[in-house]
Amino acid sequence: MIIAIFLGLAVGVAFGFIFNFSFPTEYAFYITMALLAALDSLLGAARSHLEGKYNNLIFISGFVANAVLAGALTYLGDLLGVPLYYAAILVFGGRLFNNLAAIRRIIIDRYIRKKSHDSKE
């Protein structure tokens, strides 16, 4: 799974450099919200994988639901003239930091357990 993640990342970055996509500035908030929602979903999936609770259906449905919610908030905010995308930034940003903190704790706990197990032998 880790190899697939890095391979997908490498292919995506390569496509970005090779094809040099550009978007109108009107879409900047939508693209930003989509990337934030995607990062939230990916870190959530990584956390659940490390906890042994990963489910592909939950990941895909969460990925789509997060993207739709972030896009809808941004679009509705544009229609109303209110920066509703701040709500998505706040929620998804908070979840990113929570998931990253949980991943860090899981990895450190595994390292400490492995180190203490190795020292007992």
Q: What's the pLDDT tens digit per position in 16-44?
A: 889 877 888 888 888 888 888 888 988 89
Q: Does residue 5 lie within any of the structural domains? A: no
Contact between 44 and 92 (Cβ < 8 Å): no
**What pLDDT score was predicted for residue 121?**
64
Q: Does residue 44 lie within any of the structural domains? A: yes
What average pLDDT does the chain have? 87
Domain of residue 114, residue span: 25-120
Q: Does residue 7 lie within any of the structural domains? A: no
Contact between 43 and 96 (Cβ < 8 Å): yes
Residue 81 φ/ψ region, left for φ over 0, alpha for ψ in the -120 to 50 degree band, beta for the rest? left
Q: Does residue 9 lie within any of the structural domains? A: no
Confidence of residue 48 (pLDDT cuts 50, 70, 90): very high
**What pLDDT score was predicted for residue 119?**
74
Q: Does residue 74 lie within any of the structural domains? A: yes
| Number of domain units in the chain | 1
